[in-house]
Structure 1
Amino acid sequence: MNPIDRMVSFFSPEAGYKRLRARAGAAQLMNFDAASRGRRTYGWKAPGSSADAAAFGHRARMRNLSRDMIRNRPYAARGRDVVVANVVGEGITPSIRMEGGQGKGQDKTQVEAALQHLLTPDIDALGEYDLFEMQGIVMSTVFADGEVLVCRRMRNPRHDPQLRLPYQVELIEADYLDMTVQSHGKNLVVEGIEYGPTGAIEAYHLYNEHPGAVQNRRALGSTRVHWSDILHIRRFDRAGQLRGVPWLAPVMMTLGELGDYQEAQILKQKMAALMAVVIEWEDAATRPANAGAGLEELAPGAVVNLPAGAKPNFTNPPKIDGYDEFMRRGLGMVAMGLGISYEALAGDLKGVNFSSGRMGRMEMDRLVRMWQRGLMIGQFCRGMERWFREGLAVKGAALPAFTIDWTPPRRILVDPTKEIPAMIEEVEAGLNSRQRTQRELGRDPDTIRAERAQDLVADKAAGLDPVTPQGGRAADSNKEETDEGE
């Protein structure tokens, strides 16, 4: 007991007992050092804000900083390219599967013909991007800004008869959100997004043009757009989160400091490479008229006439030590914060073998599949599919039920000679299906099946012997494939 406890216990044993019991209970509860307040945790910030309130008022600032880093910092641009290339690559491909049959016939042909609306620049309101290019831009914008909006624009078939379906889409940045609107009726509007009584998004208040354009064609004004005409693509990290933050947010400070460190090292190298010849003349010697010219800015290889009475003091720049190790550690932190491998970010393959390269790719591939499923397929592709079906309904196309399968891009194999036999063994052992394995490699099973049947028919018509696969089961497998093709 401290002196106060002893004094309280002397005058009131009951009050002293309560103090001791409370103190003992507090000691039992406070077992987490991180929750303590003291020298070791000084400067730690831990506000109890909600998921969206954590970035409230700072999203525009973080977006601008992120964009500037991608423009001017090579590792930020590299991180974006790695994420986009692995998540989207050549594109997440849609394929039609008719329900209740093999999907062969006029119905599937009609759906595939309408699907060309997505696979051509007709889908873009600007007439520039097809579905695959949009996927890359969407993922790139989510990385840089944390979120992107895709707006549906309905079209009149009489004015746009070339369109297969009566709508187009436009990709717009989060800058279009009107931050000045505070409410709409009884609904709350926060940073341009309108929330209903349940907290769900009901509408978006969007400017008619980008507020940061060089020159606006008309006065800025905002319009309320219903949520069904907007796809809001962003990454969710917390429960109840409805807004996104730039992908670079956790590593911005580290990236900025690494960039400053690199610039300082480059300047130090330039100073170390500065070698000049300085000539000091005697007092009685005849000096040139321009003696001393060039002392203000010494250049490598310069010859400078030093005036009498002036003696040079050369700087001795320190030797650069530990640069590689420091940069490796720093870029490793950035790579971890972005969810990609160090080798992919830095392009440094020193000391990498098959095992280490595969282990690094395994962790990265898990994250990539999460982003593909949650971001691109779950939000963008499914949203485009919903609009596609609604477009067919508006056009009045009476088609049977069908399913659209979305196949991610082909995963680059670290060592195909080892990984492909392992996949074959999984299929033969019943641990995986052939079509699932094909989809994991970024290939469409229906397309492969049709092309293999065509190859067999064409080879048979040309009198060629069937290709014998490894494993000694050529006759049975080729006979089965020929029967399927016929």
Structure 2
Amino acid sequence: MNPIDRVVSFFSPEAGYKRLRARAGAAQLMNFDAASRGRRTYGWKAPGSSADAAAYGHRGRLRNLSRDMIRNRPYAARGRDVVVANVVGEGIAPSIRMEGTATDEPDKARLQHYLQHLLTQDADALGEYDLFEMQGIVMSTVFADGEVLARRRMRNPRLDPHLRLPYQVELIEADYLDPTVQSHGENLVIEGIEYGPTGAIEAYHLYNEHPGAVQNRKALTSTRVHWSDILHIRRFDRAGQLRGVPWLAPVMMTLGELGDYQEAQILKQRMAALMAVILEWDDGAKRPANAGAGLEELAPGAVVNLPAGAKPNFTDPPKIDGYDEFMRRGLGMVAMGLGISYESLAGDLKGVNFSSGRMGRMEMDRLIRMWQRNLMIGQFCRGMERWFREGLAMTGEALPAFTMDWTPPRRILVDPTKEIPAMVKEVEAGLNSRQRTQRELGRDPDTIRAERAQDAQADKASGLEPVASQGGLAVDSNKDDDDEGD
């Protein structure tokens, strides 16, 4: 009974009994131990904040901590590189697909001409990155900062005649968002992002320069940029979420503790590598001024004279125990928090065979494909495609309807000798299409088809025999003849 129950029971025993009975009944209905409040759940934080409010006011610090970890902690940098290399790799390649005959080849050639605007440095406002380099930077920044912005900069064709399309793209960090703006008309502005009456993003308020630059060339001012000129790339984890957080956020504490543990073990190892000598003097022995001279430079095979009455005692350095197991467990937690395999994070292939390696890759590949589809293709690539189509309309040239496909990078096979025959059997059994399989391997079906036709034509012109097929796999017919002759 708490003090209130005692007071109520004193003045009204019946009311006090009802309170105790109701509390006892509620305790019986409490089936979730995690929802209880007591010693076991002491210190647990469970605020009921919305998706974006959970990091409100802390995104800047989270970004700075994440960047510092990537700069100074090797496993954080390795996690970033693994995610970027698998999601983007050599680049998510765009391709133009038109439904038509050979008479449409001139139209396709014109579209390919304009597509070079994306595939060259002309697309970058700084003139340094092409589309594939932009993809790598976008994915790297999303991992480190949780979000990144791409801004469309319109160009005057008369001033920039070398551009195929009248716009360029500028990649900017979330630091450019002006948090001092609170409103715009009736719209609410939170951390530099303007939300309309329905809660959708309507505009971004961006600084003219990075506020953390070494030296700002001019005073910081912000400009309102309509949402159609901004691509906001981030990962969505909750309903209604519109902002992102660094991917290292769930594992920052673990990474920091692992780093501290490593430094302590390194110091301990340095101590263990030292051969320290303690001089023990007999009672009444006379100690010279240069006692122990030469011991500070003790080397293998050295002979050092000790004064009378002194005996050398070598220290017993500490031993390093349990380091590998502790680091494996810790790095396993970090890998799980990032959604990648332990082997890819730590580079440790001890005890890995084909089955275990493939099973680890299967879980990681599911997440990689999800990030490719939802994050890179769904947000950045589709946004670049929208700007590409709008740029074509600005040229005034009449172009036919087309479809733009995005092909992710080639998936690394654990054992090609086993996986490729399985893919061939899937296609032959009708469980998968050939072009889908080719795209899963990071190859463009139209390019493969054109190159195969070129190869066949070149082989025929050179008098080479065609390549036969056995069991779905291509083999050289001449090799079969030689084997039969043997």
With the length of structure 1 as denominator, give the TM-score of the two structures. Answer: 0.89
CA shift at 1:363, angstroms? 0.2
Q: Distance in 1 between matches of 2:56 and 2:69?
A: 21
Aligned to 1:366: 366
Aligned to 2:46: 46
Q: Distance in 1 between matches of 2:312 and 2:57?
A: 54
Change (3 A) 1:416 1:285: same
SS at match of 2:403: strand
Aligned to 1:227: 227
Native 8 Å contact 1:90 1:409 kept in 2: yes
Task: Provide Cα deviations, 1:306-337, integer angstroms capped at 9, x if missing partner.
Answer: 99999998764432111100000000000000
Aligned to 1:32: 32
1:335 maps to 2:330: no
Q: Distance in 2 between matches of 1:183 and 1:309?
A: 85
Change (3 A) 1:472 1:174: closer
Aligned to 2:430: 430
Native 8 Å contact 1:281 1:306 kept in 2: no
Aligned to 1:347: 347
Aligned to 2:480: none
Change (3 A) 1:70 1:12: closer
Aligned to 1:109: 109
Task: Provide Cα deviations, 1:389-417, integer angstroms capped at 9, x if missing partner.
Answer: 00011111211110100000000000011
Change (3 A) 1:473 1:287: closer
Task: Provide Cα deviations, 1:241-300, integer angstroms capped at 9, x if missing partner.
Answer: 000000000000000000000010000000011114566789557654xx57899xx688
Q: Distance in 2 between matches of 1:50 and 1:418?
A: 47
Change (3 A) 1:397 1:343: same
Aligned to 1:323: 323
Q: Which region of structure 1 is more displaced relative to structure 2, 217-226 or 429-438?
A: 217-226
CA shift at 1:474, angstroms? 7.9
Aligned to 1:148: 148
Aligned to 2:478: none
SS at match of 2:387: helix
Q: How many residues get paired?
A: 469
CA shift at 1:127, angstroms? 0.5
Native 8 Å contact 1:275 1:301 kept in 2: no
Aligned to 2:464: 464
SS at match of 2:470: coil
CA shift at 1:27, angstroms? 3.1
CA shift at 1:22, angstroms? 2.6
AA of the residue aligned to 1:126: L
CA shift at 1:359, angstroms? 0.3
CA shift at 1:29, angstroms? 2.9
Q: Distance in 1 between matches of 2:389 and 2:177?
A: 28
Q: Distance in 1 between matches of 2:388 and 2:103?
A: 19
Aligned to 1:378: 378
Q: Distance in 1 between matches of 2:65 and 2:306?
A: 47
Aligned to 1:204: 204
Counting aligned pairs with the same residue, the percent is 85
With the length of structure 2 as denominator, give the TM-score of the two structures. Answer: 0.89
Native 8 Å contact 2:152 2:230 kept in 1: yes
Aligned to 1:391: 391
Q: Distance in 2 between matches of 1:326 and 1:154?
A: 54
1:251 maps to 2:243: no
Task: Provide Cα deviations, 1:30-65, integer angstroms capped at 9, x if missing partner.
Answer: 110000000100110000000001001111101011
SS at match of 1:214: coil
AA of the residue aligned to 2:329: R
Task: Provide Cα deviations, 1:425-465, integer angstroms capped at 9, x if missing partner.
Answer: 11011100000000000000000011111111111111100
CA shift at 1:117, angstroms? 0.2
Could you say what the CA RMSD is over the residues aligned between the two structures, in angstroms?
Answer: 2.9
Aligned to 1:240: 240
Task: Provide Cα deviations, 1:99-148, integer angstroms capped at 9, x if missing partner.
Answer: 35578411111111100000000000111000000000000000000000
Q: Distance in 1 between matches of 2:103 and 2:202?
A: 38
Native 8 Å contact 2:90 2:409 kept in 1: yes
Aligned to 2:452: 452
AA of the residue aligned to 1:407: T
Change (3 A) 1:9 1:228: same
Native 8 Å contact 2:231 2:380 kept in 1: yes
Change (3 A) 1:24 1:145: same
Native 8 Å contact 2:275 2:315 kept in 1: no
AA of the residue aligned to 2:330: G
Native 8 Å contact 1:280 1:305 kept in 2: no
Task: Summarize the alignment of residues 70-85 of structure 1 with structure 2, pairs less than 5 Å apart.
Answer: 70-85=70-85
